[in-house]
Structure 1
Amino acid sequence: MNNVTVVDHPLIQHKLTIMRNKETSIAGFRRLLREIAHLLCYEVTRDLELELIPIETPMAEMMAPAIKGKKLVFASILRAGNGLLEGMLDLVPAARVAHIGMYRDHETLEPVEYYFKAPSNLQDRLIIVVDPMLATANSATAAIDKLKERGANNIRFLCLLAAPEGVARFTEAHPDVPVFTASIDSHLNELGYIMPGLGDAGDRMYGTK
């Protein structure tokens, strides 16, 4: 699929298999999601622009590479996005954070927004939107709409699992936003869940039903 990167690193696929297992504990699920976020973060930031800055090591002065431009923004689609967010912040602790509160109406499958808070100057920053699941893509599409309304123009979307239907819907709505995922699964069921998937990521992270 155009503009979609499936990150098939063996460590990611191995950890994802453990996460899919319904016997995996809440603590184990959280830990694995954070670990996979580290690995996915490498891929989604692979082509960040660098510049040379002067520093002094204990041995000599030198020009050394550093990330160019304003700080990144990680935008978490609440609540499950926070599981990926924490792992991303482990690697980029200086990143700014946006929170986008969306939940899916289980009857209509449409997103309902209840919260939005983002840093200023979004037009000058790379924004990486994170949510474990790209199922119907309704919430993800609405979140990107909101960010673009605030001036964002350099956006990437990172998820753990995607469904073909969600990828098609998302890329049609936002063809300029690259998608990074660990797996594109088979399909959505009649309730809008990814199959075979791993269940509801938020419920498995927080022990809720």
Structure 2
Amino acid sequence: MTQHLTVVEHPLIQHKLTIMRDQATSTAVFRQLLREISQLLAYEITRDLPLTTTRIDTPIQPMDAPKLAGRKLALISILRAGNGLLDGMLELIPSARVGFVGLYRDEETLEPVEYYFKVPDLMSERVVIAVDPMLATGNSSAAAIQKLKDAGAKDIRFLCLLAAPEGVERMKQAHPDVPIVTAALDERLNEKGYIVPGLGDAGDRMFGTK
């Protein structure tokens, strides 16, 4: 992938996202829609994965058929909200290896604080897709990507549900080599660092917490 930011404007994604934005949408529906959108976004972010061929026998005759090349993908959830995207992507890519980066945002400084990190081995040989529903200030995402690079990852992509211009710019400055795929680029951040118009706190809406 060469483009730094890709906004996937597929009608199904935009329709589902509108329902998710609505504050009247229930936790159960929000969670299901996030799973569905994650699969549609995964289709876009994996469109240029390398292929090789393998010899198979169809019911009619032998053929050289395409299959994914190289090591299994690594899907990295930026906790906790990243798990909502992770679940749907694993249905689409069940053989992927999975890792977790635990970060929370200090509400005073808006800076990320790490509390957990565990990723697959051989990161340098895998396509790595980091997932987090919200790219707001970009501080947590940039910190998570740096941790993945420190663990050896070279081919990293970032998938999110919503992005703010400030977060996109922060990521571009910190990691210009990491393409971003999202369902929407919203207007801005408010004074509390939330995306506007956004959909609130994705983790709270997904897990039913406040």
Q: Does 1:73 align with 2:81?
A: no
Q: Give 3-state SS (helix, strand or coil) of 1:100's partner.
A: strand
CA distance in 2, matches of 1:156, 1:129: 6
CA offset at residue 107 of structure 1? 1.1
Question: How many residue pairs get matched?
Answer: 208
Q: Amino acid of the residue matched to residue 9 of structure 2?
A: D
Q: Does 1:199 align with 2:200?
A: yes
Q: Amino acid of the residue matched to residue 37 of structure 2?
A: I
Q: Amino acid of the residue matched to residue 201 of structure 1?
A: A
CA distance in 1, matches of 2:53, 2:153: 26
CA offset at residue 111 of structure 1? 0.5
- Cα RMSD, aligned residues only: 0.7
CA offset at residue 61 of structure 1? 1.6
Give per-residue Cα distances to partners, 1:72-111, cap 9 Å, x unaligned. Answer: 0000000000000011001000000011101111111111
Describe how 1:152-191 pairs up with structure 2 within 5 A.
152-191=153-192
Give per-residue Cα distances to partners, 1:180-202, cap 9 Å, x unaligned. Answer: 00101000000000000000000
CA distance in 2, matches of 1:146, 1:40: 23
Give per-residue Cα distances to partners, 1:147-173, cap 9 Å, x unaligned. Answer: 101111100000000000110011100
Q: Amino acid of the residue matched to residue 145 of structure 1?
A: Q
Gaps of 5+ in 1: none
Q: Amino acid of the residue matched to residue 32 of structure 1?
A: L
CA distance in 2, matches of 1:150, 1:87: 25
Describe how 1:2-151 pairs up with structure 2 within 5 A.
3-151=4-152
CA distance in 2, matches of 1:118, 1:59: 42
Gaps of 5+ in 2: none
Q: Give 3-state SS (helix, strand or coil) of 2:184's partner.
A: strand
Query: What TM-score, normalized by structure 2, do the two folds share?
Result: 0.98
Q: Give 3-state SS (helix, strand or coil) of 1:54's partner.
A: strand
Q: Amino acid of the residue matched to residue 66 of structure 2?
A: P
Query: What TM-score, normalized by structure 1, do the two folds share?
Result: 0.98
Q: Amino acid of the residue matched to residue 116 of structure 1?
A: F
CA distance in 2, matches of 1:187, 1:3: 19
CA distance in 2, matches of 1:151, 1:177: 14
CA distance in 2, matches of 1:106, 1:197: 18
Q: Give 3-state SS (helix, strand or coil) of 2:183's partner.
A: strand
CA offset at residue 58 of structure 1? 2.5
CA distance in 2, matches of 1:137, 1:146: 14
Give per-residue Cα distances to partners, 1:1-56, cap 9 Å, x unaligned. Answer: x6100000000000000000000000000000000001001000001111110112
CA distance in 2, matches of 1:170, 1:143: 11
Q: Give 3-state SS (helix, strand or coil) of 2:78's partner.
A: strand
Q: Give 3-state SS (helix, strand or coil) of 2:42's partner.
A: helix
Q: Give 3-state SS (helix, strand or coil) of 2:110's partner.
A: coil
Q: Give 3-state SS (helix, strand or coil) of 1:190's partner.
A: coil
% identical aligned pairs: 66
CA offset at residue 59 of structure 1? 2.6
